[in-house]
Amino acid sequence: MAFEMEIAWSNQARKDYYKVLDYLHENWGLNEVKNFVDKTEEVLGVIKKHPKTFVESPRKRNVRKGFVTKHNSLFYKVKPYKKEIILLTFWGQSTKP
């Protein structure tokens, strides 16, 4: 049985997530918002069970980049001793300044 780690959202990750949802709603509609929410939940489920699934950053220790969609990625930090994952930011077309 695999141990699931706890996931915590940083303020930046939460802000970026809602920014993506707003962008999708304004430009693509509610169906795309639902698809993004579902895909995010799916990716978070994988990360909880297998935090090392996605590629580790060559510059930042324990920071990994997961792909939510082809246009949006999720950066997260694994804190193995605390058995915790911190969602750092969502990055993609809709979160660029």
Convert the pLDDT of each residue in 66-87 to its tens digit: 999 999 999 999 998 899 999 9
Mean pLDDT of 9-23: 97
pLDDT in tens, 42-68: 999 999 999 999 999 999 999 999 999
Number of domains in the chain: 1
Exposed e or buried b per residue across 51-78, where buried means at least 16 C-beta atoms within 10 angstroms of its C-beta: beebeeeeeeeeebebebbeebbbbbbb
- 26 lies in some domain: yes
Mean pLDDT (the chain) is: 92
Residue 1 inside a domain? The answer is no
What domain range includes position 14?
6-95
Looking at residue 24, which CATH number applies to its domain?
3.30.2310.20
